[in-house]
Structure 1
Amino acid sequence: MADTLLGTVIENLGSFVREELATFLGVGEQTQRLSGNLTAIRAVLKDAEERQITSHAVKDWLQKLADAAHVLDDILDECSITSKAHGDNKWIARFHPKKILARRNIGKRMKEVAEKITLIAEERIKFGLQVGVMEERQRGDDEWRHTTSVVAEPEVYGRDRDREQVVEFLVRHAVDSEELSVYSIVGVGGLGKTTLAQVVFNDERSIIESTIGKNPDLSSLESMQKAVREILLNK
């Protein structure tokens, strides 16, 4: 959503320059600075949108960016309306006392939002946001997309002992049973039963180790499939 908003604002800013409204309203310098900063920010948006899941600071940064972009878009709309109202007489209107005050007001607001966006652009460096990082990670993770759980394990706290207990049952007891084994996780709603089950499901290293009898190579889906295939062929 942030990318769409920023794309619209950058496009409107380009029209603003092409129609010479920036010169007419005396905000040419701010416009150039805004264009450069917005383009730089947009280049790291994908990385920021991925990081906001685990970083409140980056999430706040994206919100500040959205707020500033909305303010800038409103100013550009107002400038466009003002220009259309004057039509071919806009250069004459430029020297009208009332219009000078209006231009000064728009210039002040444009300068304020330009300063905010400059700070936002500088913060992207502080956060270490990278260009195109999201696409690279997606390419590396494509083969895992079909098998991963929806749980983000770094955000699950206080369930290590419960997880170890369930995994212990699965790899030490259930694996030797001739019959189907069931481990029930019971309790009132809201205790995190589903979350615990998903965390156990994600503990693939322990479970696969119990199946193939050695430390599994989980670096790729292909290596896992190869190990399981060898076990099945030897049965």
Structure 2
Amino acid sequence: MADGIISMLPDLLPSTVYGYIDKEVKLVLDAKKDVEEYTGNLRAIQAVLENAEQRQVKEASVRIWLDQLKDISFQMVDVLDEWNTDMLRQQVEKQELEGENALVSLTLTECKVGIDKPSRKLNVHSSD
């Protein structure tokens, strides 16, 4: 019985490994698409915020709406920062496992998202 199972392993192992790798690659690619979409959304929000900041002095309803939009924007920035940090952490862990002494580079930092703390202004930059 055990011999039958062992003899099947060389045939089953490649397809099982391929299926696992394929699934993981799709997850990463989908996440990258989501990050790119969120970055685009943040750029659009930033443009609206700049316009609304000029109007908030005159209109109380605009001020309230602007505050809510800023809160959502800051939450989006936090999510993107956490995702980028996790990707970097995974790269460091992978290199530690492989024993490489090479510098870590985060290939997904094509977009840099941050908040200017003193003015709490949302900044979205692209290295393009």
Structure number having the greater strand percentage: 2
Query: Does TM, normalized by the shorter one, top 0.5?
Result: no
Q: Tell me which structure has the larger Cα radius of gyration.
A: 1
